[in-house]
Structure 1
Amino acid sequence: MGWSLCRFPLTKAVPLAISRGTTSAVERLELCLSHDGITGRGETGGLDTGHRSYGLDGIEAELQGALPALKRLDPVDRSVVDPLLSSLSPPARCAVDLVLLDWWGQYLQQPIWRLFGLDGRCAVATSVTLGLASVEGVQQRLHRWWTQLPATRIKLKLGSPDGLDHDKALLRAVASMLQTRREQTGEAHELQVDANGGWTVQQAREMQAELVAADVVLLEQPVAASLDPQEDLQGFAALREHCSMPLVADESCWDLKDLLRLAPHVDGVNLKLLKTGGLTEALLIARVAERLNLDLMVGCYSDSTLLNGAACQLLPLIRWPDLDSHLNLVDDPYLGLPLDQDKLSPPISAGLGISSTAMGSG
């Protein structure tokens, strides 16, 4: 049984700017397990949500430290994995969880969504992201998306350091473009807004009339997340009664405890596998959210097809897929994620269903 860990680069075709900064390229980690003629793969990387941060060097050190224990594991016996995973940070845990699931699914010759008891025949339109920029820059980015795919779901980043006037100008410009697009194509187009914690509660309230006028269908993480659980709730609780569209938590929701804490004050949460620590916890959160009548988004950071393909295993449970990062890469080393127009489907191959372009096999 062989384990390996290596770094690989990912470069964006168009840099992405949000309220906390701009990203044009990242390094990621691929964790691999080769055993019985099967290779399982998992991806992870650093992330910074403003109140929690994990660097790639630290994640790599965690995984290197865990390799001796991983080499002693029987990958068929998932019951022995939990004690090891519990000692790791969420992004390190994500890599281990995904590589073991990928190997396990291939061993059983089944896709993970089927092993989870889900229906993999769904096809759901993913949103595509418009980062912060000048009005002209955002308009150009939307036109670029429309040359690449239909892009019927648009996520607009707001919370600009330039203030609410700039946010309002961006919102009006994009809403106008979508209205024109609807008239030209006859297709419904959906506008979402994500402030990435860039507003105060008062600013979020001030933006409500503009959001309604633009036909925005959801508002994601309008106020900053906090490490203090009660302080983190205050913004959502104060805004909920003033928000006439679904209110979705992203940076504030990492695990099941966060979901239960947030549930009375939000309409949905954004699952990202680097936050949840992989698919196993994400599935648990999704099932509980279903019982609580909360809607789900599944999102990404600067993720390749490998990590987004893992997230797509949950598509049957997701109302708002937000998995466009791999569509904005010039050097994605993976393939296998089905895309029809702008609709994603769970991969049909065994395991995570994603192949390495370097190896030519999954």
Structure 2
Amino acid sequence: MINRRSFIKSTAAVAGTTAIINPYTVLADYGRAHPVKGKLILRYRPYTLQLRHVFTISSNSRSTTPVVLTELEYNGMTGYGEASMPPYLGESHETVLKFLSKVDLSVFDDPFEMENILTYVDGIMPGNRAAKASVDIALHDLVGKIIGQPWYKIWGYDPLKTPNTSYTIGIDKPDVVRQKVKEAEPYKILKVKIGRDSDKMMIETIRQVTDKPICVDVNQGWTDRQYAVDMAHWLHEKGVVFIEQGMPKEQVDDNAWLTEHSPIPTMGDEAVQRLDDVMKAHKVYSGINIKLMKCTGMREAHKMLTLARALGMKVMMGCMTETSCAISAAAQLTPMVDWADLDGALLISNDIYKGMQVINGKVTLTQWPGIGIKKLA
């Protein structure tokens, strides 16, 4: 374990000579100052998540999600990662395994060279963002374990400032929706999937049984700007706090018009994949939804968060259906966001990790190093 005082001292020395600190450069400098050479060994295997309920959004339904679980070993320590592939990402067990087979980390003998390692991984092939995230998460977990600290501390975040997480309710029949609301009793805010002709039914059904705040995810389901803004006003009257990706991402002008006329914030999701998309989303949406599987992992998510905050945008930390591995990795960033939607592991029945917990509806981080997880099986 690295001495924390020495780490802080070395970080402060770097801070005195740079206006903007890249934490990955700081860590690389630390690694060079304290060389412990070894071999990085990447392992991976396919896994299938079983959902507790059929999950329906505006474009599809499913009861499983394919994932690939990764491990990155170095000098007897292991970091864990994950790639989750819901249908719209365009990735699969086959594509992720193919990508990971091309990852050769033998040229790196120091995991602290995070910027170099992850730049290399990102450049192997275009796309494959979830596959890249699985390496990124494992590397962050490994380096955090070597340092002996969780990433929220490495980044300097206050764990007491985490938000409540929403609990997702997919599109369904009224009796099923009411049952899902009952199951969501511990949660302070509900995320409701809409974007079909059943939008008002979904909200009115929920309002029959609870007055909790609601956010809605339209998944690009609205195509007419006037309908969208009329719905925004109606949703505002029903206690909805924001709208996620109301219209197709290609309808940039329509989304900007909706944001201008909506009484509640709009969040870009499908329209905001990676760092380059943050500037494009500025003044088109009120904020952005960052997901590790979209942006290649924690390194880029951290950059997106920093840029969005500099632009005065709202930030939400989201997820796919994932194990507690990827969920806990994303949770490391939550002390700096406005909203969290990190219920992915709560929606599955075969999680194999223990990590971030939801206590009284609030994202609650562990003090375990790295991404803050322990393997159960």
Scaled by the length of structure 2, what TM-score is found?
A: 0.85
Q: Which of the numbers 30, 34, 57 marks the counterpart of 2:94? A: 57
Taking the aligned partners of 1:303 and 1:104, their CA distance within structure 2 comes to: 22
Could you say which residue in structure 1 is the equivalent of 2:27? none
Taking the aligned partners of 2:304 and 2:297, their CA distance within structure 1 comes to: 11
Could you say which residue in structure 2 is the equivalent of 1:203? 227
| Unmatched 5+ stretches in structure 1 | 180-188, 227-231
Aligned residues of 2:84 and 2:320 also touching (Cα < 8 A): no
Q: 1:289 to 1:79 in 2, by over 3 A?
A: closer
Could you say which residue in structure 2 is the equivalent of 1:318? 337
Aligned residues of 1:297 and 1:320 also touching (Cα < 8 A): yes
Would you say 1:133 and 2:172 are equivalent positions?
A: yes
Aligned residues of 2:42 and 2:73 also touching (Cα < 8 A): yes
Cα deviation for residue 256 of structure 1 reads 1.8
Aligned residues of 1:336 and 1:355 also touching (Cα < 8 A): yes
- 2:102 corresponds to which letter in structure 1? G
Aligned residues of 1:218 and 1:248 also touching (Cα < 8 A): yes
Taking the aligned partners of 1:313 and 1:158, their CA distance within structure 2 comes to: 29
Cα deviation for residue 123 of structure 1 reads 3.8
Compare 113-122 and 317-326 and name the one that shifted more. 113-122
Taking the aligned partners of 2:55 and 2:83, their CA distance within structure 1 comes to: 19
Could you say which residue in structure 1 is the equivalent of 2:154? 115
Taking the aligned partners of 1:299 and 1:103, their CA distance within structure 2 comes to: 23
Partner SS, residue 46 of structure 2: strand
Could you say which residue in structure 2 is the equivalent of 1:73? 108
Could you say which residue in structure 1 is the equivalent of 2:215? 192
Alignment of 1:81-92 (within 5 A): 81=117, 82-88=119-125, 89-92=128-131
Q: Cα RMSD (Å) of the superposition?
A: 1.6
Could you say which residue in structure 1 is the equivalent of 2:50? 11
Taking the aligned partners of 1:121 and 1:176, their CA distance within structure 2 comes to: 33
Aligned residues of 2:161 and 2:336 also touching (Cα < 8 A): no
Aligned residues of 1:220 and 1:247 also touching (Cα < 8 A): yes
Q: How many residues align?
A: 333
Could you say which residue in structure 2 is the equivalent of 1:186? none
Cα deviation for residue 131 of structure 1 reads 0.4
- 2:248 corresponds to which letter in structure 1? A
- 2:365 corresponds to which letter in structure 1? P
Could you say which residue in structure 2 is the equivalent of 1:241? 260
Q: Which of the numbers 359, 363, 371 marks the counterpart of 1:344? A: 363
Taking the aligned partners of 1:295 and 1:216, their CA distance within structure 2 comes to: 16
Aligned residues of 1:85 and 1:96 also touching (Cα < 8 A): no
Partner SS, residue 178 of structure 1: coil
Taking the aligned partners of 2:289 and 2:79, their CA distance within structure 1 comes to: 26
Would you say 1:172 and 2:204 are equivalent positions?
A: yes
Q: Which of the numbers 221, 232, 240 marks the counterpart of 1:216? A: 240
- 2:315 corresponds to which letter in structure 1? L
Partner SS, residue 254 of structure 1: coil
Cα deviation for residue 22 of structure 1 reads 1.1
Aligned residues of 2:55 and 2:61 also touching (Cα < 8 A): yes
Partner SS, residue 97 of structure 1: helix
Cα deviation for residue 134 of structure 1 reads 1.4
Partner SS, residue 102 of structure 1: helix
- 1:176 corresponds to which letter in structure 2? Q
- 2:242 corresponds to which letter in structure 1? L
- 1:117 corresponds to which letter in structure 2? G
- 2:142 corresponds to which letter in structure 1? W
Taking the aligned partners of 1:27 and 1:209, their CA distance within structure 2 comes to: 37
Cα deviation for residue 290 of structure 1 reads 0.8
Cα deviation for residue 191 of structure 1 reads 0.9
Cα deviation for residue 64 of structure 1 reads 1.0
Partner SS, residue 121 of structure 1: helix
Cα deviation for residue 28 of structure 1 reads 0.9
Q: Which of the numbers 308, 313, 324 marks the counterpart of 1:294? A: 313
Cα deviation for residue 240 of structure 1 reads 1.8
Would you say 1:225 and 2:260 are equivalent positions?
A: no
| Unmatched 5+ stretches in structure 2 | 1-38
- 2:134 corresponds to which letter in structure 1? A
Taking the aligned partners of 2:113 and 2:320, their CA distance within structure 1 comes to: 31
Taking the aligned partners of 2:115 and 2:165, their CA distance within structure 1 comes to: 34
Partner SS, residue 161 of structure 2: coil
Partner SS, residue 286 of structure 1: helix
Taking the aligned partners of 1:267 and 1:170, their CA distance within structure 2 comes to: 24
Cα deviation for residue 282 of structure 1 reads 0.3
Cα deviation for residue 12 of structure 1 reads 1.1
Scaled by the length of structure 1, what TM-score is found?
A: 0.88
Taking the aligned partners of 1:212 and 1:344, their CA distance within structure 2 comes to: 25
Could you say which residue in structure 1 is the equivalent of 2:20? none
Aligned residues of 1:175 and 1:191 also touching (Cα < 8 A): no
1:155-198 deviation digits (Å, cap 9, x = unpaired): 111112xx1xx21122122133223xxxxxxxxx3111111111
Cα deviation for residue 72 of structure 1 reads 2.9
Could you say which residue in structure 2 is the equivalent of 1:158? 194
